[in-house]
Structure 1
Amino acid sequence: MKLTTAGELLASYVRRLVLEQQEIVSNIASKQSELSGTIKIVSAEGFATSFIPKLAAEFQARHPAISVQCVTGSHSDIFREIRHGHSDLGMSFENRPDPDISTVVRFGCETKIIMRRGHKLAGKSVLNLIDLARYPIATSLGTTTRQIFEHRAAIEGVEFSIKFQSTNSASIFNYLSASDAVSFGIELTSREWLDQGHLVARPLDNPEPFRRNIYISVMADRTLPRRVETFIEFIHQELRLTLRNNQGWPSS
């Protein structure tokens, strides 16, 4: 059975009301000014590998009574989790109009080419699509970034040889470390491997068509718990610091 439009509106209102009442009860029970409780996050897989765990640990160092729950999913999964109140916030690379979802942070970032340290292309300061065509490609399955690269390659008449595909970013990075393959992504989601020195990232000579936005979304019209608002601001500050130092830029 499918709800009518009026039924959907009522269901959304009830979900928001229940979440806000639960938060009031929790605040009364805790009787604490300190942030406490669980922050529930749903995100694209790339964010959950290293960025969110690192961020959670840093946030908990300041607010030890906080716990964090993180699940991953597609863009549709992320919106569904938020809409039904199963997650407090979502983090993704995609954003589509939805009356039940509000975007609270949008931040731009540059897509770069990632490869192992010691790769022949690592010696170049800037790369182009023709450079990539000379080497095997490792890529995620069904991502917008891959679609953008394939579209641009078709326009420029460049053919890629895709040799490894996975829905798991760690698998891709490990494959890059062990081969001459190259991949494309943002430094934020590969930060752990870059910092450890296993991989390097190089910019494209024409980065504009490959730029991405990072979105943080919440349930529309919901009064967010203070812990969630504080955590979102913490994420925003980290994005500003990390991406501004790596050719990122705030979109809002």
Structure 2
Amino acid sequence: MHAAVLRYFEAVAEEGSIRRASERLNISASAVNRQILKIEDYFGTPLFERRPDGMRLTEAGQLMLRHSRDTLHDFRRLHGEIDNLRSVVSGEVAIATLDSLTQHFLPDTLTRFIEAHPAVQIRVTAGDPNEILHSVARGNADLGLTFDPVWRGGIHELQNIPCPLHAIMRPDHELAGRASVTLDECSAWPLVYQDNTGSIRGFLGDSLDIFKRAHKPVLTSNTLALLKRLLLRGVGIAFYTRLGFVEELAEGRLVAVPLEGERLSQLRLCLLAPSERSPTVAARVMAEHLGRDMGGLAGVSGLDGR
């Protein structure tokens, strides 16, 4: 079956909507729908349930999706291996990542990668830790970047570096000059919190309840960009690694004070790959590139615990 048709099917399955799939593929919804109908006609069975809330895979559709992903992956790997014979790295790489890494690390490292390998197509998707793990385990992403994964089924860890938690605040904050602070000391101020950082929440655990007991406001959002602007306005304190604040810290607009507690200094950033299949040439080269640049992060801006 033609690779383009499989991509249409895969997009509808992942998006749960013909309209969203068409936007992702940059083709008309009617063209996508025609291809889906052709596939269903070919197999003589529905591959999707048409529901008011979108398209849901039937049992036959789930089999088709597994075949589609395997076929497209093998095709990309073959394409990359053929190009590799010509000393040209090409193909596609899908990366699932934490939002904080899109602020500084990924823009820098991907710029260097694109300069070295302009024939590689890269797709980056930001999500929460659970989404990243599932995306890698299912083969939707070739590589994943997240903090200490608890669930590791279908996942292979390629590299990790220490990323201790800090209290992030403005330089004129009362605690800004401290060598370290405790969560209890921070509870005297409002908490600014990203509600989709599952790994960090797991590390902090019930400790966040001290802010509720202190009757301090807790402002949550799923976007780091908003919370960063609130911190710059002096709204409160946030608990993060330094990864999402490299420029603000370097410019002195924010400061990062280490949090006391052995567990809070043990958080690690991990580079993950699917364990059930071989990587494409492009994915392997990207993994090596990210691994090298992650190694460089360990000694930058206190990521090694300093």
Whether the TM-score (by the shorter chain) exceeds 0.5 is yes
Rate the CA distance shift 1:174–1:79 in 2: closer, same or farther, 3 A. same
Partner of 1:233: 288
Q: Indicate which of 96, 100, 113 corresponds to 1:59.
A: 113
- The equivalent of 1:242 in structure 2 is 297
2: CA distance, partners of 1:66 / 1:152: 44
- Give the aligned residue type for 1:167: N
Q: Which of 224, 235, 251 does residue 169 from structure 1 map onto?
A: 224
Q: Counterpart of 1:205 in 2: which secondary structure?
A: coil
Identity of counterpart residues, as a percentage? 20
Taking a change above 3 Å as real, the CA distance of residues 14 and 221 of structure 1, as seen in their structure-2 partners, is farther
SS where residue 76 of structure 1 aligns? Answer: helix
Find 1:223's aligned residue among 264, 269, 278.
278
RMSD of Structure 2 on Structure 1 (CA):
3.2
How far apart are the structure 1 equivalents of 2:83 and 2:263? Answer: 51
Q: Is residue 16–residue 222 contact of structure 1 (8 Å, CA) maintained in 2?
A: no
Q: Retained in 2: the 8 A contact 1:49–1:169? A: no
- Deviation, structure 1 residue 79: 3.2
User: Pairwise mapping of residues 1-252 of structure 1 onto structure 2 (< 5 A)?
Assistant: 15-16=69-70, 18-28=72-82, 32-143=86-197, 144-152=199-207, 159=214, 161-245=216-300, 246-248=302-304
CA shift, 1:113, in A, is: 0.8
Tell me how far apart the structure 2 counterparts of residues 160 and 31 of structure 1 sit (CA, whole Å). 64
Secondary structure class of the residue paired with 2:179: coil
Contact 1:15 1:84 in 2 (8 A): no
Secondary structure in 2 matching 1:244: coil
Question: 3-state DSSP class of the match of 1:122?
Answer: coil
Question: Higher relative contact order at CA 8 Å, sep ≥6: structure 1 or structure 2?
Answer: 1
Give yes or no for contact 1:44–1:72 (8 Å, CA) kept in 2: yes
Q: Once the two structures are superposed, what CA deviation does each residue of 1:84-143 show, in whole Å capped at 9, x if it has no partner?
A: 433211111242444432222233321111112222221222212232112111011143
Give 1:121's aligned amino acid. Answer: L
Contact 1:82/1:101, CA 8 A, preserved across alignment: yes
Number of aligned residue pairs:
245
**Secondary structure of the structure 2 residue equivalent to 1:103:** strand
Q: 1:138 to 1:227 in 2, by over 3 A?
A: same
State the TM-score, normalized to the length of structure 1: 0.81
